[in-house]
Amino acid sequence: MTDKKKLIAPRLPRGFEDRLPADIGAINAMTAKIRKVYERYGFDPVETPLLEYTDTLGKFLPDTDRPNAGVFSLQDDDEQWMSLRYDLTAPLARHFAEHFNDLPKPYRSYRSGYVFRNEKPGPGRFRQFMQFDADTVGAAGPEADAEMCMMMADTMDALGLAGKYVVKVNNRKVLDGVLASAGVTSDDQKLAVLRAIDKLDKFGLEGVTQLLGAGRKDESGDFTKGAGLNDEQRTTVLDYVGGREPADNEGIAELRVMQALFDAAGYGPDRIRIDPSVVRGLEYYTGPVFEIELTFKVQNEKGQDVVFGSVGGGGRYDGLVSRFRSEPVPATGFSIGVSRLANALKLTGNLGAVEPTGPVVVLVMDKAETARYQAITSGLRQAGIRAEMFMGNTKNFGKQVAYADKRNAPAVIIEGSQEREQGIVQIKDMIVGKETAAAITDNAEYKAARPGQFECKGDIASIVAAISELPAVAQYLKDNQ
C-alpha cells in the first residue's frame, strides 16, 4: 500500500494580496494619467531596487542583532543586512547621494512601485502596497514646495476628481514656533500635541482641546491620554489651530511666498489652501508639509457618513540626503497611496479600464489543421491584435466558446471543414452576441439567429481586416498604436 501524497495547502501570507487582470488594468490606467502630469512638469522616471542595505534606510530599525522590526530583512553572504524598501524616498536619497556628481541639480524624478512594511496586517492595512512619488532634490526655496502642491492638484484633476479634493498646506517651522511659544520642549509632549492637532477633522475643536489637556474618552469608553498642557499652553496652541496667525517667523514667510505663487497660477482655496491642522513627521519633515484630502462623503464600517480623507502627502525633508553627504542637500516631494486612490476612483466612477480586452480566440475545429489555425493567429498578432489559438484538450465547440467568453475575448474565429471548402471563416462578435442574446428568450430562435456571427473570406488579410473593424478591437489598436 503506497503512502498518500501530502499536498501543500495553497495559502496567501497575511497582509498580501493577489492582483487580477481587472485590478492591474485599472491601476495601469490610473498611473498612466499620473505619469503624464508628472512628465508635463518636467519630471523623469527612475527605478531603484526593492532591496537596499539596511543602514541606508535609516528608519524602523531597532538596536538588535537582527534588524527586522518594521522592515523585512535578510543577511547577505558578506554578512551585510539588506531590507525590502519601506518607502520610495529613502532609496531616492541613496541614489542621489551615490550619483551626486553625475545628476543634474535640482534633480527632478518620479518613481512608482511596491513598498513593504513588516507590521501587523489588518483591514485595509497591507504589508505590500504601491506608492507613486515625485521629488525635487537640490532646490531650497518654497517655490519647489509650491510646485509640488500644484502638481498634486493637477494630478487629481487629471484623474477626474476636480471639485472632490483639496490640497492642504502647512509648515513644520510654524508648528515648531507655536510649540516653542507654548513652552513645549520634550519630544514626547511635542508628539502628543501634534497628534492632537492632527485629529481636528475627526474630533473637532472640543476633542482637540481634550487631547491637549488630560485626555479624551471616546463613545466606547476607551481613554486616550492627552499631552498634559496647562491652560496657558493649551490656549496658545488652540489660537493657532483656530486660525490665528502666530508671530512672523521663517515658516510664515515661506507660506506667504507659496500662497502668492498659488494665486498667480490660478490655484484658489477650493484646490489648495493653507491649513494649520496639517501635521506630518515629527523628525522627518523640516519645512512645508502638505496632503491631498478627498472631500466627498463615504460610509464607514458603522454606517456613518465620513469624509474619504487623505490619499497622499509629503513635504520638505532637507535632512535625509544629508545623511550620506557632509554638505546640506535640500529636498521636497510627495507620495500617493495608489491602492487607496484607486478605491476613491472606484467610488466616484473614475477608475478607468476595469476589464481589459481579451485576445481574439481562434477555435480548433479540426486537430489536423492546427498549422492553418496557427497561421491565422500569427497573422492577427503581426497586425497588432491580441490573439491566441485554443490550446485546450477539448473538441467541444461550446466549451471553446465558453473559454473565449471567460477570457473576455472580443471575437472567436471558426473554420471547420465546411468553411474551408467554401474558402471562408465564421467570425463571432462576442460582445454583440451577448447584447443580442439578452433579448432572445427562445433557444431555437437563438440558434437560428446566431447573434453577432458573420462570415468573411478565408485569406488572412481579409480575416485581419474584418477583425480590425470590430469596435473593441479597433479601440485596442488605437490605444496601443
Distances from the Cα of 178 to the Cαs of 249, 276, 352, in angstroms?
10, 11, 44
- Name the nearest CA neighbour of 192 among 148, 227, 221: 227
Q: If DSSP codes are grouped into helix, strand and coil, which group holds residue 120?
A: coil
192 or 467, higher pLDDT: 467
Tens digit of pLDDT for each residue in 80-110?
989 999 999 999 999 999 999 999 999 999 9
Asked whether the beta carbons of 456 and 427 are under 8 A apart, the reply is: yes
Handedness of CA 82, 284, 146, 201 (dihedral sign): positive
Pairing, β 81-84 against β 387-389: unpaired
Alpha-carbon distance of 27 to 342, in angstroms, equals 7
- What distance in Å separates the CA atoms of residue 20 and residue 30, rounded to the nearest whole number? 16
Element (H, E) at 310: strand 305-316
Joined together, the cell numbers standing for residue 31 give 498611473
Instruction: Enter the C-alpha cell of residue 414.
Output: 471558426
Q: What is the mean pLDDT of residues 139-157?
A: 96
Please report the domains of the chain, with CATH numbers, ordered by start residue: 14-140+318-354 (3.30.930.10), 161-297 (3.30.930.10), 360-479 (3.40.50.800)
* Angle separating helix axes 370-382 and 460-468, nearest 10 degrees: 50
d(CA 118, CA 68): 8
For residue 86, the tally of other CB atoms under 10 A from its CB is 20
Residue 442 pLDDT: 52
Question: What residues form DSSP beta bridges with 223?
Answer: 217
Distance CA 44, CA 106 (A): 12
pLDDT in tens, 302-351: 667 777 888 999 999 998 888 898 888 999 999 999 988 988 888 888 87
Q: Which long-range contacts (CB under 8 A, 24 or more apart) does 64-71 make?
A: 68/118, 69/118, 70/117, 70/118, 70/119, 71/116, 71/117, 71/118
Confidence band for 257, pLDDT divided at 50, 70 and 90? very high
